[in-house]
Structure formats: C-alpha cells, structure tokens
Structure 1
C-alpha cells in the first residue's frame, strides 16, 4: 500500500480519535466539526467525505472506540469451575481490574448517559453488547448454581444486573467526582464482594456460618480492607459478637442485616456503628486494631433477638 493510500485508510480513525477528545471535553452539543477537523489536522470537508453528519461522527466514535475495551475484556474466556464463590470472586476481580485499566470505557459510558435521549438506538445497541459479554455469562452461571443447589433461587430475574449494579455505581462516582473527592476503589470492591459472597451465597454451605443457621463462626480479626482483607458476615438476620484479642467480650448485637451493619465497624475513619452509643463508639474507635468478631446467621430477626437475649449480658462490656 502506498503512502497516500495508507494515510487515506488511517484518516477515519484519526478523525474519530479527535472527535472523542472534543466530545469528552465539551459534550456533544458544544462540539463543532471545525474543532474536530483542527484537532485531526484535516479540513471540515474531509470529515464530511467520511461521515455525513455530526450525529454520524458521534455514533461512529462510540461504536469504533468501544470495540477495543470490549475486545480486551473478552480476550480471556470465562472458565467457570465447580466452586461458585471462587467463580464470582474471579469474575468481580476481573471486572473491577478492567474498569481500573480502561478509563476510556468510563468516558464512553458518560457520553452515552449524557446523550441517551438523543441517541436511544445507540444506547440500546451498546447495552445489548454489554449484556451479551457481561450479564449473560453471569446469568448462565447463576442458573447452573441454582439447579445444583449451590445458592437459593433468586426472587428476581434481574439478579445479574443487580450484582453488577455496584460496578456501574463506582464508574459513575469516579466520573462525577474525578479527583475532587477521595474514592477508594479497592475498599469499595472489597465491600461489594463481601456483601455478595457472604450474603447471596451464605446459605449454600460455603458461607460464613458453615454449620448452618444458628451456629457461630470461628473468631476473626476485624478486617482492614486497605490490605485486601474482607468482612465475612451474612447479608440477612443474625448476630455479631465482638471481643478483644485478650478474650474480653465487648459487644453482642442482633441485626436485620449483619453484613450491612458491620460495614460501619470497619476501620475507615467513619465507623464504628452508626447506632452506637457515645461510650460504645469511643471504646470501639480506640480498640479497632484489637477487635475480633464472629457472626451467626438466623432465620428471622426475631430469632436473632431471642438468641441475643439468651446471652449472659454480664459477660459483655456492652450487652445487646
């Protein structure tokens, strides 16, 4: 191929790269094709030679520049195993890693959200691509897990979308705040994974209460998600108990959602316990690095309350 022919073949890609930069910088409405042409080093007429309108430039920009991120995610074929928890953990890790390594995918998402009413068919097309590559494999794995009794049957058919919702939420938060507010993706990911694995999958014999409902787990150190440690607790009714590493019992509490409530105990500078009394809050803050916990899943919140009431309150610094 001659130099002129090669440059002609490369020009549409250069135009779309320039258009992407302009759309990200100014948004669709404020972007002018004159500015795209100047950034690409071509004339406005050259753009019209390849694309009939600004609308077509936008559509082609989204279509073409999405191919790379989608292809990158699909490079490694999903290899499901017989371990549902390991499969879900691997899937989420891969998805979050992909998001962190592909900022362009976030910007394309922002453009699609901003222009959804103007380009509904484009949005639908990209959702279908997203669904086929991200949602449907997870839906298939969950269906297989339910058939094998690895997890309870979901009450909603949109379970994969619900599972992936926090990933989309983190994308949106990162787009909204950029560097203006502190976001810790690693902590966010650890919390999402903990709530999912120890909530949705806690009844399948691989969750935190390995002896089933009504049995305490072993004692664990209160985790630090900044080091990749995760909270392991049921996302449902139950109890949690805290003690110091010296063995002194500190707290026993019944909860409607153990995992959700215990998230506020983690050493992130905002815990512990939103409902904790001043004396409890002060003590727990002071001893966060010395605390251990164990949890018990219960069939109902009333059952959890009854079990907490049966505990010897005199043994705890802060009884239920």
Structure 2
C-alpha cells in the first residue's frame, strides 16, 4: 500500500529535525572544547566523541574542521555582532563606532571566558573574529576613510589593526588581570594607530556605552 503524501512529508520533516539536532550537538560540543585554553588542539575525533556521534556522522554534517569553525563562528558572533551593529549604527562618527565595537567585544571577553577562548582559538586557524565581524570591521574603516577621518592607506590595513589588536587584547584579558580601564585604553590606542589624533582618540574611547539590545 502506497504511503500518503502527508506521511512522506512528515517522514522528511522528522529527518530534517533529526539532522538539525545532530548538527547542533556537534556545534555545541565544539564550543565546549574550543572554549578552553587548549581548545585550539581539538580534533574531529574529540568533537565527535564529546557530541556522542561517530566520525562518519560528523562528516555527514561538515567537510572538516574549517567548515565547523565557520559554523561555530557564526553561532558565537552573529547575534552579538547584530546587537553591536544595531547599537553603534546610531553613532554618527565612524571612529566612535569602531571604538565602541572594540569595547563591546573586549567587555564580552572579560565577562564570558568560554566565549573569549572560543574566539581566540578559532581565529588561530581561520578568519580572525569570524567572517561577519571581519567584513563589518573593514566596512567601518571604509566609512571612516570616506569621511576623511581615518588617514590610512587602505581599508585592509585598518581592518587588520582593529582585529589583530582586539584579538591580542582578548588574549591578555584571558591570561592576565589588566586594570578596569583596559578595554577603553586598547580602543583608544587602536584609534591612534588608525591615525586619529590623541585627544580625539582618548575622548572617543571613553564615551559611555549604551546597553546592547536585550541587555540591562
């Protein structure tokens, strides 16, 4: 007896749900492993074991570690970046947008160590801070250059100054105990490296930050 279209659709839906749950388990396991100091050395076998799946099942969902890191990066940064972008977009000065975004990321790193370790470990073998953050950082630099506020030769140089310095600062926050004003100091000196005058850089890096959407 032939199955009805409804039965076939339901079976397909169950299959999609099961696949999505397995993928989510793998990503969650990767976060648990990458969220520690030695997470950089995690292997496919380690992640599959933590997720309770086999290696073939892992490869049914991801081609390899690079694709998994990109998926994890999206999980870790997409919503946070969206909240940061929504908030800083209300600031007219692109230099302030850059400084504020840096401070939001560093403050998050100070407060959420597993998140910070994951960002640091993923960036070691992939796109720094994830592809979305990478693109947004360069876009902010482009806007600053077009406004005549960032006297640097290329947006790529500005992007690398922002992301490289921010990533190094995240490492410091994880391994040391810098003073409370560290996030603001780093943001100010990154602006200085982008060609912003010292007094302007210090002022822009110390403007009070509004809360992010959904945060008290």
Query: If the length of structure 2 is used for normalisation, what is the TM-score?
Result: 0.60
Question: Contact (CA 8 Å) 1:66, 1:108: kept in 2 or not?
Answer: yes
Match of 2:43 among 22, 31, 37: 31
Which residue of structure 2 aligns with residue 79 of structure 1? 89
Distance 1:97 1:43, change over 3 A: same
Q: 1:245-268, CA deviations, whole angstroms, 9 ceiling, x for partnerless residues?
A: xxxxxxxxxxxxxxxxxxxxxxxx
Question: Contact (CA 8 Å) 2:102, 2:187: kept in 1 or not?
Answer: yes
Match of 1:201 among 181, 197, 202: 197
Q: SS of 1:200's equivalent?
A: coil
Q: Measure, in 2, the Cα distance between the counterparts of 1:155 and 1:51.
A: 39
Tell me by how many angstroms 1:62 deviates.
0.8
RMSD: 4.0
Question: Contact (CA 8 Å) 2:99, 2:187: kept in 1 or not?
Answer: yes
Question: Contact (CA 8 Å) 1:22, 1:31: kept in 2 or not?
Answer: no
Question: Contact (CA 8 Å) 2:141, 2:158: kept in 1 or not?
Answer: no
Q: Which has the higher contact order (CA 8 A, sep 6+)?
A: 2
Query: If the length of structure 1 is used for normalisation, what is the TM-score?
Result: 0.44
Aligned residues: 183
| Residue 182 (str. 1) matches residue 182 (str. 2) | no
Distance 1:201 1:85, change over 3 A: farther
Q: SS of 2:177's equivalent?
A: coil
Q: SS of 1:39's equivalent?
A: helix
Distance 1:99 1:41, change over 3 A: same
Match of 2:140 among 132, 137, 141: 137
Tell me by how many angstroms 1:154 deviates.
2.0
Give the greater-gyration-radius structure (CA).
1
Q: Which has the higher helix share?
A: 2
Match of 1:93 among 91, 99, 103: 103
Unaligned runs of 5+ in 1: 117-122, 209-227, 230-320
Match of 1:154 among 151, 158, 167: 151
Q: Measure, in 1, the Cα distance between the counterparts of 2:152 and 2:56.
A: 56
Question: Contact (CA 8 Å) 1:15, 1:36: kept in 2 or not?
Answer: yes
Which residue of structure 2 aligns with residue 60 of structure 1? 67
Tell me by how many angstroms 1:14 deviates.
0.7
Tell me by how many angstroms 1:11 deviates.
0.8
Q: Measure, in 2, the Cα distance between the counterparts of 1:207 and 1:40.
A: 46
Question: Contact (CA 8 Å) 1:23, 1:31: kept in 2 or not?
Answer: no
| Residue 42 (str. 1) matches residue 53 (str. 2) | yes
Q: Measure, in 2, the Cα distance between the counterparts of 1:86 and 1:48.
A: 43
Question: Contact (CA 8 Å) 2:34, 2:121: kept in 1 or not?
Answer: no
